[in-house]
Amino acid sequence: MSPSSNRELAASGGPGIVVTGLRKRYGATLALDGMSFSVRPGLVTGFVGPNGAGKSTTMRVILGLDAVEEGTALIGGRPYLGLRRPLNHVGSLLDAAALHPGRSGRNHLLWLAHAQGLAARRVDEVIELVGLTSAARRRAGGYSLGMRQRLGIAAALLGDPPNIMLDEPFNGMDPDGIIWMRGFLRSLAAAGRAVLVSSHLMSEVQDTADHLVVVGRGKVIADAGVAELIAAVSAGRVTLRTTAVTHAMSVLAQAGATVAAIGRDTVAVSGLPADRIVTLLNASAVPFSEVSAHRATLEDVYLELTREAVEFRAATPSEVSR
């Protein structure tokens, strides 16, 4: 979203979460350096970036748990601390381990519901929603991390809020849990909620997020639809399959292409159109079985975008450029 549409959404006071120009220091560390983005209703927004990029700090600021030197974070047009019944506006899961180990999952939720003046009936509804019914009366201290994540999501849904914020919800989930989580997040967005999900792994938000806010060093690097980002990174790239990887790479690099081996018999090529690649390979008698437009994965998008933002990035030995 462009800064102007971000401002429009903030000014409208409407649904969603709008973060504008957050700046925050921890001692010498600039944790947030002008962080600005919006989380819109009806979409799952992936909030992705390397460790230390400022994701958790941003979420804490949105929830009024951390103060900032500059900037605003609004939920439905208001700061969190100005909300009269916050659980009815935003549900969050920041730390799935934050529960009383001796209490049952159900009692944990009853305690939260009571503190917020919510009906006990809602507790059994959210337990069922997250698939914890059979474990609800067991001690939460004995729950697996995946079950704790489900309990945390149940807590986030207690007030039936239009905005949901989850910090690393895939952590500790087994493959079945991850599939469940993806479907569940999608269903929350399909019901019109604004859903913000942080992760340091792009693969986790694949098939889940509609929109991505990619962050590095306390600010937004990219803020766009998933389809748009994949198309931008795919543009101009060609995938080549050949049994003569080294020979092909050398021929194409000499002709000005940027080439990278991405598998035993696969090379990613950019900087030359497909027909020119075919001509060059034929002229040098390099055997190949396929030359096709490359479709980037979300992982490619992420690497491309965060290339500058990660402090220490290992060199890729197979990368050869002109």
Q: Which residues bind ligand ATP (CB under 6 A)?
A: 26, 29, 31, 49, 51-57, 200
Distance between CA atoms of residues 246 and 124, nearest Å: 61
Residue closer to ligand ATP, measured from CB, 275 or 311? 311
Nearest distance from C-beta of residue 213 to ligand ATP, angstroms: 12
Nearest distance from C-beta of residue 128 to ligand ATP, angstroms: 31
- What does the block give as tokens for 151? 């309990």
Residue closer to ligand ATP, measured from CB, 62 or 130? 62
Residue closer to ligand ATP, measured from CB, 31 or 230? 31
Beta bridge partners of 269: 238, 259
- What does the block give as tokens for 213? 């806010």
89 close to 145: Cβ distance less than 8 angstroms: no
Give the three-class secondary structure for 186.
helix
138 close to 178: Cβ distance less than 8 angstroms: no
Residue closer to ligand ATP, measured from CB, 46 or 54? 54
Task: Tell me whether strands 237-241 and 194-199 are parallel, antiparallel or unpaired.
Answer: unpaired
Nearest distance from C-beta of residue 297 to ligand ATP, angstroms: 21
Neighbour tally for 67: CB within 10 Å: 8
Nearest distance from C-beta of residue 265 to ligand ATP, angstroms: 35
Nearest distance from C-beta of residue 117 to ligand ATP, angstroms: 31
Residue closer to ligand ATP, measured from CB, 54 or 271? 54
Distance between CA atoms of residues 214 and 232, nearest Å: 15
